[in-house]
A and B are shown apart, each in its own frame.
Chain A
Amino acid sequence: MVLLTLMAIVTIGVVRLRNLFAVVILGGIYSFLMASVMIMLDAVDVAMTEASVGAGISTVLMLGTLYLTKMEETRPAHTPLLPLFVAVVTAGGLIYGTIDLPPFGDAAGIIHQHVAPHYLQNSIVETSVPNVVTSVLASYRGFDTLGETVVIFTAGIAVLLLLKGRRPASEPDSNAAKARSRRRRPKA
């Protein structure tokens, strides 16, 4: 509960602040809080991913992007009413959806009756891997993980094409790099 309250505070900070550097750092804090929530829920693998990807790499990439753009967010030209309406309706729909969910941690819930018991009981016998998360991820659901890997592959190729393809390869740019670091130093 404390964590969720902190997350709400961070979210309000993200919405209110105009300084994008602070927003990115708050985003990292949000991810760490989320990772802590995941640990509370005993989802250690997810917590690890959230901490490394959400708080680590995303923050670094956002900071890298900030370096390329401006630090301050411009004031929005339109009123916030339409976005607010969309957000409220979506949140209302999601909360309405949770009413039909089985109670939290209910072992008799439908999702715990389908294939989960088979995984939990037979993971060691069939794959000799004690961490069921790994055996489900890599073996029982190996096809899904292949899809995820291909998604990352595609994303990487796409970013490389977009960011590297535009400029000609013949730019050794040691001079440009030097000039850039010289320009950066007074600020730091």
Chain B
Amino acid sequence: MKFDTILRIGTKLFLPFILVFALYVQFHGDYGPGGGFQAGVIAAAMVIFYAITFGLEAAKQAMPPLVLEVLIGLGVFLYTGVGIVAMLKGGEFLNYSALKHDPVHGQHLGILLVELGVLITVFATMTAIFYAFVGRGR
């Protein structure tokens, strides 16, 4: 695997586009199909692709497992955090309209942040599960 030039260069060419597509799916989710779940999986696919071509150790250097373990929790934290901030601002839990003075803006911001939380958790979980499976050896 290590000396396969076409695979290595091809992978390197593909990776940024996969990431851009994941971000497109994430942030265009308000207007077209997509959202946090799909974007998270696509972003995780990018890391998995990298790991398959360059080996698990290289992938672990690029995206350390410790960071992933923090990110798994961070996504849920962000999601519930949005809900609690909405509560503190006088709305119900997860009532985004209370986030800003204009309820529609609040909704927009809330949806964006919540989807971001979903993205982070899904991405980190999928990548961490992949690491755990592949890193076990036989």
Which A residue's beta carbon lies closest to that of B126?
A57
Tell whether, in the assembled complex, residue B124 and residue A156 are in contact, meaning their CB atoms are under 8 Å apart. yes
Q: List 13 A-B contacts (CB under 8 A).
A: A44-B33, A56-B45, A57-B48, A126-B107, A127-B107, A129-B107, A138-B35, A138-B110, A139-B110, A148-B118, A153-B72, A160-B129, A180-B137
Cα distance, A39 to B94, chains bound together (Å): 31
Q: A153 and B75: CB pair below 8 A?
A: yes
Q: Are B44 and A61 touching (Cβ within 8 A)?
A: no
Minimum CB–CB distance from A138 to chain B (whole Å) comes to 4
* B-to-A contact residues, CB < 8 Å: 1, 25, 29-35, 37-38, 41-42, 44-45, 48, 55-57, 69, 72-73, 75-76, 79-80, 83, 93-94, 96, 103-105, 107-108, 110-111, 114-115, 117-118, 121-122, 124-126, 128-130, 132-134, 136-138
Known contacts A45-B33, A52-B42: does B133 contact A61 (CB below 8 Å)? yes
Is B124 a contact of A142 with CB atoms below 8 Å?
no
A64 within 8 A of B: yes
Known: A48-B33, A52-B45. A129 touches B79 (CB 8 A): no
Q: Is the CB of B73 within 8 A of A177?
A: no
With contacts A56-B41, A149-B121, A176-B137 taken as known, whether A164 is within 8 angstroms of B111 at the C-beta atoms is: no
Shortest Cβ gap from B38 to chain A (Å): 5
Known interface pairs A126-B107, A139-B111. Does A149 touch B34 (Cβ–Cβ under 8 Å)? no
Contacts of B83 in A (CB 8 A): 142, 146
Q: Does B25 lie within 8 Å of A48, measured CB to CB?
A: yes
A95 proximal to B (CB < 8 A)? no
Q: Chain A residues with Cβ under 8 A from B56's Cβ?
A: 177
The answer to whether the Cβ of A134 comes within 8 Å of any Cβ in the partner chain is yes
Whether A131 pairs with B29 at a CB distance below 8 angstroms is yes
Taking the complex as formed, is A163 at the interface, i.e. its CB lies under 8 A from any CB of chain B? yes
Question: Chain B contacts of A138 at CB under 8 A?
Answer: 35, 110-111, 114-115
Contact B111 A129 (CB under 8 A): yes
